Structure formats: C-alpha cells, structure tokens
Amino acid sequence: MLSLNFTKFPVLETKRLILREHDLADAEALFAMRTNETVMKYIDRERPEDIFEIKDFISRFRNAYENGDNLAWVIALKDKPKQMIGSIGYWRTDFANHRAEIGYMLHPDYWRQGIISEALKRTVDFGFNDVNLHTISANINVENNASRQMLIKHGFVKEAHFKQNYYFRGQFLDSEIYGLLNPNH
C-alpha cells in the first residue's frame, strides 16, 4: 500500500539545493511569494491576507505531512539553507491508485537558473523510488507555458485539457493535466 508516512521528514538534496520541511520561520518568505502577482500569475489560488494566515498554512502543511496526506518541501540553496526561495510538493494524493499531484513555485529572483528543474527531478525520483507512486500528475493553468515546457522536459505527457473546470475570481478557467508514469512499474 502506498504511504507518505516517514519516521522523520525526508530532507532531499541535489547538487545546489536542499529540500527541507516548512518551518514557521519561512512564513515571511512564503507570504511574500503568495502575495507576489508575478509568482502567482498562473497559480489560481486566493492570496493570503496576512502573515497569520500563512503561519496557519504552514501548520497545515506540517499536519498533512504528519497525517501522511501530503508532502511539501521548502526549496533552499545549500549555502543558505534557512532562506526559502520556493516550494515543491505532492498534493491530492490518491492512495488507492498510487497517484499524487506535484506543484511548485519559485521566487522570481531565482527564475531561469534551472532550480525548479533540479528540484522537480529530485522529487519525481523520490516519488517513484521511495514513495512508490505509479503516476505523478500536474495541473496547470493553460496560459502557463513555462510550467508546461518544464513538465514536458521532464517526460510528463499531456493527459487532458479541461474546459472551464474551475471558478476563480469571477470567471471559469481551463486547466491542463500532465502525467508521468513510473518507469519501474
């Protein structure tokens, strides 16, 4: 059976990055990203109103991990491990079907440096090899070409285009679903 239960939070590393657990000390950096319209342009979620909302959000991340529901990492550079520059994680885990949805965001100061690519490769490897996922999916805004290209670069294939399947800020929006099958299955 698929499980996201680990005896301790799985810290992941790459050549340049450390992917670690969220901490309340990350609240200001996360608030700054989640209220930055450039970062959130294609992330169709309500913006937090204050830092307390973000602290609650971080607490829910930690609880979801402790309950084995989700697994979300802070992206930080190895030489500045306490400074959150982004996040990546698994959401909407479908345990019965060994599927999880991956999502990510990065502060614009770090765009176009291969950071999301590096973090995505590591978390996909972890999802397939350590969690034993069969499928990893991603749900993107149809206008988010950078995310689409990132997913395709890492072997994800477009599975669906949903017409006006969610409502955000007064309008119905389309979404695209990309999927990647575990090559070991």
Provide the CATH number for the domain around residue 134: 3.40.630.30
Average pLDDT, the chain: 93
In order, the DSSP letters of 11-49 are -EE-SSEEEE---GGGHHHHHHHHT-TTTTTT--SPPPS
Q: Is residue 84 part of a domain?
A: yes
Q: Give residue 67's pLDDT.
A: 79
Q: Give residue 68's pLDDT.
A: 77
Q: Is residue 7 part of a domain?
A: no
Domain containing 139: what range?
Answer: 12-181
Q: Give residue 1's pLDDT.
A: 59
Nearest Cα neighbor of 90 from 131, 51, 129 is 131
pTM metric for this prediction? 0.93
Q: Is residue 127 part of a domain?
A: yes
How many structural domains does the chain have? 1
Q: Is residue 35 part of a domain?
A: yes
Q: Is residue 80 part of a domain?
A: yes
Higher pLDDT, 66 or 181: 181
Q: Is residue 2 part of a domain?
A: no
Q: Is residue 4 part of a domain?
A: no
Q: Is residue 1 part of a domain?
A: no
